[in-house]
């Protein structure tokens, strides 16, 4: 889990440089000297940042449905964060009732059911109260950083796969020159019928594409 997500600690700082360092520290702790790195969306930008900062640590890179550019529109993400912040759930509800209530409250802003289900995985019960385990304050404060991408001049020399959903705008042909500049050995592949959350929408096809990109054992 990235900082401010899942079971990882919360921090007021939320930049790609900071998140890249988190991964570097994790690799050191696990004793991994070189890895194949896969990241989705914000995680993809973190993976790209690490590969560009420390190419010695990354053998191959897989960026899932994200390009090394500023991501627009910011507005929909800030709307999702605001919608999550405004969810009100009374104490003492069962987990299924709490999820249903949160789902109903998110529905007007987050219209895609798959995306609501994805966001609702962050709803957790702590001592009888339902809270979001993501640090919404830090995320909303750093939304411009998260949507942006750091400036790099030296390319990553290893193989890279940009794996997009055919129904998603986040790896577009207008990004190809920048992908090519920073990742000269990149190839771009789309999974037919998948949206932004490629691995949820088309799981089998996603796994096949990833396995095909890995070096032979």
**In the CATH scheme, what is the homologous superfamily, with its name and number, of domain 16-71+148-213?**
Alpha/Beta hydrolase fold, catalytic domain (3.40.50.1820)
- 75 — pLDDT class (breaks 50, 70, 90): low
Q: What is the DSSP track for 68-92? A: SS--S-HHHHHHHHHHHHH----TT
104: DSSP letter: H
The residues pairing with 130 across neighbouring beta strands, listed in sequence order, are 125
Q: Kindly report, residue by residue over 175-217, the tens digit of the pLDDT.
A: 999 999 999 999 999 999 999 999 999 999 999 999 999 998 8
The residues pairing with 39 across neighbouring beta strands, listed in sequence order, are 63
Q: What is the average pLDDT across 162-182? A: 96
Say whether the peptide bond before residue 206 is cis (omega within 30 degrees of 0). Answer: no
pLDDT beyond 90 at 69: yes
- 128 — pLDDT class (breaks 50, 70, 90): confident
Residue-range domain boundaries for the chain: 16-71+148-213, 74-142
Angstrom distance (rounded) from CA 169 to CA 10? 30
* Residue 162 confidence (pLDDT): 98
Instruction: Please give the positions annotated as active site.
Output: 41, 137, 196
| Tokens coding 94 | 């069962």
| Tokens coding 205 | 């096809």
pTM of the model: 0.88
């Amino acid at each position: 889990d990235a900082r401010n997500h899942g079971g990882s600690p919360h921090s007021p700082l939320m930049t790609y440089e900071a998140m890249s360092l988190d991964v570097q520290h994790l690799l050191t702790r696990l004793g991994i000297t070189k890895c194949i790195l896969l990241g989705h969306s914000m995680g993809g930008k973190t993976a790209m940042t690490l590969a560009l900062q420390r190419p010695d640590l990354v053998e191959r890179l897989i960026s899932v449905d994200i390009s090394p550019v500023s991501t627009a529109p910011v507005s929909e993400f800030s709307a999702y964060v605001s919608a999550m912040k405004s969810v009100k759930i009374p104490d003492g509800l069962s987990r299924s009732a709490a999820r249903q209530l949160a789902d109903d409250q998110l529905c007007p802003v987050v219209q895609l059911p798959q995306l609501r289900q994805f966001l609702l995985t962050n709803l957790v019960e702590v001592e009888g109260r339902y809270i979001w385990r993501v640090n919404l304050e830090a995320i909303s404060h750093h939304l411009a950083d998260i949507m942006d991408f750091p400036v790099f001049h030296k390319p990553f020399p290893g193989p890279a796969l940009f794996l997009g959903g055919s129904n998603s705008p986040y790896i577009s042909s207008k990004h190809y020159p920048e992908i090519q500049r920073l990742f000269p050995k990149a190839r771009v592949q789309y999974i037919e019928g998948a949206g932004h959350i490629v691995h949820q929408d088309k799981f089998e096809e996603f796994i096949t594409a990833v396995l095909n990109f890995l070096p032979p054992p």
